Each structure stands twice: as C-alpha cells, then as structure tokens.
Structure 1
Amino acid sequence: MATAVETLGKLERRITISFPLTDVRTEVEKRLKVQARTAKAPGFRPGKVPLKMVAAQYGYQIESEVLNDKVGRAFNEAANENNLRVAGFPNIVPKEEAAEGQLAFDATFEVYPEVAIGDLTTVELETVQAEVSEAEIDKTIDILRKQRVHFHTKGEAGEHGDGGEAVAANGDRVTVDFVGSIDGVEFPGGKADGYAFVLGEGRMLPEFEAATVGLKVGEAKTFPLAFPEDYHGKDVAGKTASFTITLQKLEWAHLPEVDAEFAKSLGVADGDLAKMREDIKVNLQREVAGRVKARNKDAVMDALIKVAELEVPKTLIAQDSERLAEMTRQDMAQRGMNVKDVPFPAELFAEKAERRVRLGLILSQLVGDNNLQATPEQVKAQIEDFAQSYEDPREVLKYYYSDRRRLGEIEALVLEENVVTYVLGLSKVTSKAVAFDELMGSNAQA
C-alpha cells in the first residue's frame, strides 16, 4: 500500500510505502525452504541441512532480498498509478513510526520536469564555414615531411649534402652533457649525459637553447639560467642556476623530397603526386567538415539552453557526475597513468553534468514533439560515412551492428544532427567564414 504523493519541492516528491510484516515473513520462509534444497553444511548431505541452520546462514540475505523486492515493486506500482515519470533512483529509508504489524518506508524522489522551449524562429544563430585551399595542402605536406625527418651528422658529406657549417643552429638535433648547480651545489635533475633534443622546438628553457646555439662538437659553455617562478620543479622554481653544457653530437635535419617515393610512403601505390595531393585534400575536407559540424552543433546547443526553461533533477546531475568521474578515471588508466589512489570527486564534474542532463532533457522534448528520431536509413548512412576512411568498410559495419550499445551511440549522434538541422531550419541563421588554422586549432568536439 502507498500513500498519496507528497510534493516537497518543484521536482521532489515522497511516497510512504507499507505492507504487513506477515507478508515478508511468509516470503522469507518460502525462499528459505527453496534454499534448503541445495544448502550444504559439514556433517549433512546436500538438501538435508536443518531449516534453522539454513536460516542462520542465509536468513539476513534472503530477508534483505525480499524487502528490496517488495519495496521496489510497491514503489513502481505507486509511480505507475500516479503517472509519475521518476528521474533517477528513489531514496528509500525505513519509517520510524508504522502501524502495528506493518513495515513502512519513505521513498523520496524527483520527477522529470516540464520542458518549455521558446519560439525557435526568434533565435539568432551564427554558423561557420571553412574551405581547404592549396595553401592548406602545402602546409599539411610540410607537416608530413617533418614527421618523416631523418638526421645526418652535420658537416659530413653524404648523399643529401653536409648540412652546412658544423655549428649548432635551430632545427639541428644536438646531444649534450650538462650539469647545473645553485650556489655551487648540484641539484637533483640538474645533470645528464647524452641528452638529445632539437633546437627550436621549445623542449628546453629559452636560456638553455640560446646557450647551445653556435656551439661546435666538443665545445663547452657555462651560463646562468633563471628558473621561472611557476617551474614544475618546486625545489628550483624562482632560483638562478649555473649550467655548463658540452656539445657531444650535432646532426642536421633532412626532410624527404616531395617525390614519388614520398607519395608511396603516404599510401599512394603508383607514387602519383597529383593523386597524393587529392588524397590529402579529401582527408582535410573530411576533417574540416567534422570541425564545422561540431562548431555549428555547439552553437545550436548553446541556443537551446538559452531558449528553454526547465528545472534539472539533482538526482540526474549526481548520477552523471559519477559517470563522468569514472570515465575520466578509466581514460587516464588506459593512458598508463597510475590513478589507483587519486581521488575523483564527482563535484568536479557537476557543471559539465548539469549541461549534459539539461541538453538531454531539451533534446528529448524536441525529438518527441517533432518526430526527429533517427531512422534505420540514417544510422546506416552515418556508419557508411565513418567506414570510408577504413581499409575494409564491411568490418566497420559489422563492428557497429554486432553490438547494440555501439549502434545506440550512432543513433544518438544522428538524433543530435536531426535536432541541429531542425533548429537551423527555423532560426535566423548568419554564416561566417573562418580561417582554416583557426578552425583546426579550436576545441570544438563532435
């Protein structure tokens, strides 16, 4: 039996659930007899253990299961009878005062809110667009060349030349021995032999790199180095050290020529440079399209948050915060980080969780009101689009269609795109061209 629903707040509700104690005892005895059929105990054959011993061993567990089942069933029945859309899980606690022979529990919970979405035709949205020019293709080729760089001893003649005068310069890879001291005392981490780095990449502090430039193999230099106040090494942060470096090895960077061999290294079997450029262009266009879509989706989501009015259930925020914390922990562990004893307070993720839950409720309302669900055809088209960048598209299709959870992720993605298309179709949209570098440097997430 359940009492009438009490309203405790905008979304918070309470129901008192009660049922006869005899119902619980009867069900416990019934389950104990079932358990006794297979129960084992020293000195007894299986199934011949006295019921009192079975009760002593399993009684608490079975009683807890019975109570959970009865309370859960009673709560669900009460929620259905009152047409309540329960958000998250109820908080159920025993009621201190109950009628004689009765067990009573208070179930406190939240319900899903009413979502009021304003007039989308009044929303002003700015979308972005970007183009892939020949200059972007050239920049990408330069990056690909640098990824395939190889080094030669500077000053020694070879098939690619000698690299010029054997003096350290930006772009060279240097191998040095160094030792640092503060007030004449060496400090931990201030000494190394055979340490290699590329000048100009910023891996070392500016004073260190500046002192290395101009050295020849075998030469040494002593110089002062002031560590920044925010330096990661707290023992030396804000202090000035004296360093001595000795150049042991000097190599110059040789970038591969943009020729047929270079094209083949990028997967163009016949080495055709025009085909290589076209492949790069297609890949860049796909990346640009994804970034543009993500930026425009974010703009739509931001607009929906502003135009919609709703209360967000705290229960759902808490649950999503816990989920985000666990996802972060797992992600860091997969990256090889030791997070065993690292705390991940869910509160740190509350703001992000609140936005996710709010958007989820808004999207759910829009989808239901305007029939924007993902169709099987749309889902298949999205997977086929993903599969284009893989060697065997059929394996990609199999990967998604063999797992309902993975397929659900694609459905959710398509659903969001349907919402974006719908909102853009109603809103006042202006388009702005953005530079390729600006777009690729953004933090937009699809």
Structure 2
Amino acid sequence: MAIERKIEKLPHAEVAIEVTLPWEEWKNFILPATEELSKDMQVPGFRAGKVPRHVVEQKFGQNAVLERAAEKAIQKTHEKIIEEEKLDAIGSPKAEILKLAEGNELCYRVVTAVVPTVKLGEWSAAVKKVNAEFAAKPVTVTDEEADEEIKKVASSRAKLVTVNRAAAQGDSVLVDFVVKRNGVPIENGTGQNHPLVLGQNVFIPGFEEAVVGMNAGESKDIELSFPTEYHAKDLAGKPATFSVKLNLVQERSVPELNDEFAKSLGQFDNFGTLRNSVREGMTEERQHEQREKRRNAIVDVLVEKSEIDLPEVLVHQEIHRMIDEFKLQVQSMGMTFEQYLTGIKKTAADLEHDWEPQAEKRVKASLILEHLVTDQSIEIPQEELEEEMNKTLQRFKKVKHVEKDLDMQRLYTYTRSVLANQKLLEQLEKM
C-alpha cells in the first residue's frame, strides 16, 4: 500500500513531508517497541525483552510504548518515502509527531535537507576571460632570481668561525632573551641560546639591529614594539622590553658563487648548469602556483555566475571540516587549539561565525564542480581510478591502524570526485 504523503518544498533546499499512517499500518511496531524498552528490565517470571506492555508502561510512562513505536514507524516509512520520491537527502531529518493515539492513524511531519539545485548562468565567456588574463602573464625566472636562490644554498653552507669582536651584520649569534610587558615576562616570551643570523630580519623588527655592536657576554634591554600585524593579537602594536644577553658571535664565511661551488654540490659541472637547474625548478614551481591561481580564479567566476540556495547543514558540515583541518595545523605548530583561541581572544563559536562566508563559498564550489562534471560528461577510466586508489592505499600503509579502518566505498567515491574535478579544470583551462 502506498504511504499517504504531502510534500512541500521549503527555502534553503529543505523539504517538508507530512505523512499519515493508518492504525493497521503502524500497529505492527507496537510489539518491537515493547520488546526494545523491556530488554534491560528484570521482572520475575519474564525473560528480558518479553515483559508485558502494561508493566513496561508502569516504568516508562503510559505513552512510552506508543511513542517508541511511532519513532520506529517514522524511521521505516521516511526511508521508504525518500527512496520512492528519489530525494537526495542529506543530514539528519527533523521529525515532529502531529497525531498519536492508539487505534488511530499516526500523523507526522519531517523536514529534511536535500542536495540543492545548481543554476549556472552564462559562464563560458567569464572562464575564457580568466584564461586570457593568465595567458598574458607568462611565468619567467631571470638569472638574478635564480642567483638569489643559489645564494640561499650557499648561505646554508657557510663556515662558522667564532670571533672575539662586536657582532656585525651577517654574523651568526646565539642569544638569551626575555620579553616583558610592564615588567612582567610574557607567556612563551623567553629563549636560551636562540640562533640568529643578523640581517636576515626574522625576529621582531629592530631587535637584530640592536644586537649589532654587542660583544659576547654583554647584556642590555631593548625597547621595541610588536608589529601591528603580529599573529598574537593581544601583543600586536604593543611596546615591550626585550632583555637580551649575547652568548656567542661567529663570522660566516659564505662560498663564492662559481664553478667550484657548483661542483661541490655533487651533480653540476659548472655554475651555468647549476643556474639552469635552479631556474627550471623555480619555473616549474611558479607554473604550479600560476595553475592553482588560475583554477581558483575560474572557480571564483563560476561561483559568481551561480544561484544555489544552500541548506544550513552543508555549510555547518564544511565549517566543522575546516576547523578540524585547522586544529591539525595548529598542533603541528606545537600548540593546542585552545591556546590558539586564547591568543587571538576568540571562542570556537566566533571562529565558526568568521569562517561561514568562506565555508559557503567552498560548498558552492564543490556543488558547481560536481554539476559541471555531469554536464560536461567527464568520465574517469577504471584503470586510472584504480591506479590512484592504489597510490592512496600505499600511503595509508605507512600509518598504523589506518588501512584496516578505511571505508573503501568512500575512498572510491572521493578518489573519483578528485580525479573528475581535476580533469574538468584541465578542460576549463583550455577554453
């Protein structure tokens, strides 16, 4: 028998389904509900799960069995309706019982989010414009830029000689320091034998300049202000006292950029081949960056040309995914997520609110790409898909306990989606 239902489309890609079940249909859930409620009850003379209904209701309340039966009926019939109506439901449905009485029909209303419809305006001209703009900016690497990279390699191979003189620009030094605000050391504001190369400007602006001229064993206080864009917002732009002691001064002897240096790296005959190799590597890296920028720009114009009424559940899922990813980044920097929040004086709820626009954009981009993959008939050959999955499985083998927990169907779907998106973007780049 067909289930009586009324379906109403709601804003934000939600659907309301109002269902009426005759008593003859849903009374069959009474016995399973009674057994489920009584499975942990211990009543003399009765086996667990076989306690009479009236005894169960004495413990849980008069309507307990009916309510549990209604829950089971709703779950079963809702799943059937979703399948029959071919609704692409997402998230957890919200159910409300409208009418519940023994011997009578059961009426309920369920609101569920569905995958939203993607409406794309005329987008091809916008994509072609992006491609033209990037084509007008070809990637180049000059000899001077390649030499700057080589200088960094040479600098990392500098020989260090301890000297008995005042520190100068270019020297390697070891310093102890304590950072104070109003005479009180700040959290994580101390260091011992901290290495610096004077002139590289990796410390607070003004600090390295103040160390120049100091001798080993000398101490002094330096009055500086944190940059206005400092990552710890409670310190940004604020003055502080840096108590510093210079422990060691070493002169750095950097190799000259010549054929001898190139040969010392073990794979180059002369400086020219070294420069060419570095230039090729830099070119490849910049081309990769350019490709990512182009693809991001293409996705941006597609989002601009789209109309998508997003359900809240998709945005919230994306926000939580972003926060989980960010927690891993924070942990890799040696701090907890809570410490990070304390440092920026925000709560997790503040972060969720701040990231909502970005999450909406990411969800729209994902839906648009999925839509275009279908629209453009993008197919991934089975052998290509299997090859990529095998690469992923090989990487997971290196992580204990991960491989056995893998959901192969999810991995298949995810890998296919990634490859299809890549192929789609390659196609869009050629327009």
The normalised TM-score by structure 1 is: 0.68
Answer 1 or 2: higher relative contact order, Cα 8 Å, separation at least 6.
1
Of 94, 97, 111, which residue of structure 2 is paired with 1:94?
A: 97
Partner of 1:188: 185
Q: d(CA) in 1 for partners of 2:374 and 2:302? A: 15
Matched, 1:294 2:298: no
| Contact preservation (8 Å) 1:207, 1:225 | no
Assess if the C-alpha contact under 8 Å between 1:95 and 1:104 holds in 2. Answer: yes
The separation in 2 between residues aligned to 1:315 and 1:236, in whole angstroms, is: 36
What is the one-letter code of the residue matched to 1:146? Answer: S
Matches within 5 A, 1:144-163: 144-149=153-158, 151-154=160-163
1:228–1:237 Cα contact (<8 Å) kept: yes
**Within-5 A mapping of 1:35-50:** none
Change (3 A) 1:202 1:113: same
Give the Cα–Cα distance (whole angstroms) in 2 for the partners of residues 327 and 137 of structure 1: 34
Q: Describe the shift of the 1:348–1:103 C-alpha distance in structure 2 as closer, same or farther (beyond 3 A).
A: farther
- Given that residues 317 and 354 in structure 1 are in contact (C-alpha distance below 8 angstroms), is that contact kept between their aligned partners in structure 2? yes
SS in 1 for 2:170: coil
Report the 3-state secondary structure (helix = DSSP H, G, I; strand = E; otherwise coil) of the residue aligned with 1:311: coil
Figure out how many residues of one structure are paired with residues of the other and give that number: 396
Q: Is residue 225 from structure 1 mapped to residue 230 from structure 2 by the alignment?
A: no
Q: Which of residues 405, 417, 420 in structure 1 aligns to 2:425?
A: 420
Distance in 2 between the 1:28 and 1:149 partners?
82
Are 2:210 and 1:211 equivalent residues in the alignment? yes
Determine if the alignment matches structure 1 residue 109 to structure 2 residue 116.
Answer: no
Q: What residue is the counterpart of 2:325 in the other structure?
A: 327
* Residue of structure 2 equivalent to 1:174: 173
Q: Deviations over 1:214-269 (max 9, x none)?
A: 2333556x56624358575969975575x775543211224467344433xxxx5x
Corresponding residue of 2:344: none
User: d(CA) in 2 for partners of 1:364 and 1:213?
Assistant: 58
Percent of residue pairs identical: 19
Asked if the contact 1:94/1:105 (under 8 Å) is kept, the reply is yes
1:168-227 residue CA offsets vs partner (Å, 9 max, x unmatched): 112212234667889xx854258877554332233444444333212333556x566243
Partner of residue 337, structure 2: 339
Pairing 1:348–2:348 present: no
Partner of 1:15: 17
Change (3 A) 1:79 1:413: closer
The aligned residue for residue 431 of structure 1 is none
- Provide closer, same or farther for how the CA distance between residues 276 and 52 of structure 1 changes in structure 2, counting only shifts above 3 A: farther
- Out of 339, 342, 366, which is 1:360 matched to? 366
Query: 2:379 maps to what in 1?
Result: 373
Compare 251-260 and 25-34 and name the one that shifted more: 25-34
Q: Which residue of 1 aligns with 2:310?
A: 312
Cα 1:289–1:50 shift into 2, 3 Å: same
Residues 44/322 of structure 1: CA separation in 2 closer, same or farther (3 Å cut): farther
The within-5 A match list for 1:267-278 is: none
**Offset at residue 321 of structure 1 (A):** 2.2
* 1:327 Cα deviation after fit: 3.1
The 2-side partners of 1:287 and 1:61 are apart by 65
SS at match of 2:96: strand
Distance across 2 between alignment mates of 1:413 and 1:104 = 43
Aligned mates of 2:276, 2:360 — CA distance in 1:
44
Deviation string, structure 1 residues 17-63 (Cα, Å, up to 9, x no partner): 34356766643534766998x97969999x67863599699999998
8 Å Cα contact 1:31-1:62 kept in structure 2: yes
Q: 1:142 to 1:116 in 2, by over 3 A?
A: same
Query: Is the CA contact (8 Å cut-off) linking 2:16 and 2:109 kept in structure 1?
Result: yes
Task: Give the match for residue 161 of structure 1.
Answer: none
CA distance change for structure 1 residues 410 and 192 in 2, over 3 Å: closer, same or farther?
Answer: closer
The answer (yes or no) to whether the contact 2:6–2:19 under 8 Å persists in 1 is no
Q: How far apart, in 2, do the equivalents of 1:216 and 1:320 lie?
A: 54
Q: Sort the Cα spacing of 1:150 and 1:101 in 2 relative to 1 into closer, same or farther, 3 A.
A: farther
Distance in structure 1 (CA, Å) of the matches to 2:274 and 2:45? 79
Compute the displacement of 1:153 (Å).
Answer: 0.4
Q: Following superposition of structure 1 onto structure 2, how do residues 71-86 of structure 1 map, counting pairs within 5 Å?
A: 71-86=74-89
Label 1:66 to 1:260 Cα distance change in 2 as closer, same or farther (>3 A).
farther
Cα RMSD, aligned residues only: 4.7
Q: Residues 152 and 395 (structure 1 numbering): CA distance in 2 closer, same or farther, change over 3 Å?
A: farther
CA distance in 2, matches of 1:23, 1:154: 93
- Any conservation in 2 of the 1:211–1:223 contact (CA below 8 Å)? no
Partner amino acid, structure 2, of 1:90:
P
Which consecutive unaligned segments of at least 5 residues does structure 1 have? 156-165, 388-392, 427-446
TM-score, normalised on structure 2? 0.70
CA distance in 1, matches of 2:100, 2:67: 20
